[in-house]
């Protein structure tokens, strides 16, 4: 079983991305309408954990302000929050903690 060391703040449901362009697309810059762009459901303000993957590095950002769809879970970030997440993804700040996470390969897992 292999271990990956993550540059991370914590686990959470988020968006796995491959590059900065997809990061910007995934942030889905916040609009004034309070309806989900994916399903039309109502958005509720709260905090989420944002995740980002880039070349074998994983980043988790806790306590990120976002509007979250009550129906499908889609997250919408304000422009200021999106800018801060981009800075973090570009390693412009230090993580508050590091995690060691076990990684499994589904194709190599034996049935019991």
Q: Answer yes or no: are the C-beta atoms of 60 and 96 closer than 8 Å.
A: no
Overall average pLDDT of the 16-20 stretch: 45
Number of H-type helices and E-type strands within the chain:
2, 5
The number of distinct structural domains making up the chain is 1
Per-residue pLDDT reduced to its tens digit, 21-48: 556 555 555 544 578 989 999 999 999 9
What confidence score (pLDDT) does residue 20 get? 53
What confidence score (pLDDT) does residue 7 get? 29
In angstroms, the CA 70 to CA 58 distance is: 27
For the beta sheet containing 57-69, the strands, ordered from the edge strand earlier in sequence to the opposite edge, are: 43-54, 57-69, 75-76
Position 10 confidence tier, pLDDT thresholds 50, 70, 90 = very low
What is the number of other CB atoms lying within 10 angstroms of the CB of residue 46? 11
Q: Which domain, by its residues, includes 76? A: 2-108
Chain mean pLDDT for the chain: 77
In angstroms, the CA 76 to CA 19 distance is: 19
Per-residue pLDDT reduced to its tens digit, 42-85: 999 999 999 988 887 889 999 999 999 999 999 999 999 999 99
SS3 for 21-68, per residue? HHHHHHHCECCCCCECCCCCCEEEEEEEEEEEEECCEEEEEEEEEEEE
Q: What is the CATH number of the domain that holds 8?
A: 3.10.20.860
pTM passes above 0.85? no
């Amino acid at each position: 079983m292999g271990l990956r060391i993550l540059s991370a703040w914590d686990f959470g449901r988020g968006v796995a991305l491959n590059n900065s362009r997809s990061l910007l697309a995934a942030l889905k810059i916040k609009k004034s309408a309070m309806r989900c762009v994916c399903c039309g459901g109502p958005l509720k303000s709260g905090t989420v954990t944002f995740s980002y993957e880039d070349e074998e590095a994983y980043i988790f950002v806790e306590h990120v302000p976002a509007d979250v769809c009550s129906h499908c879970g889609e997250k919408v970030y304000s422009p200021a929050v999106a800018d801060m997440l981009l800075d973090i993804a570009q390693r412009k700040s230090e993580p508050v903690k590091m995690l060691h996470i076990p990684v499994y390969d589904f194709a190599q897992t034996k049935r019991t």
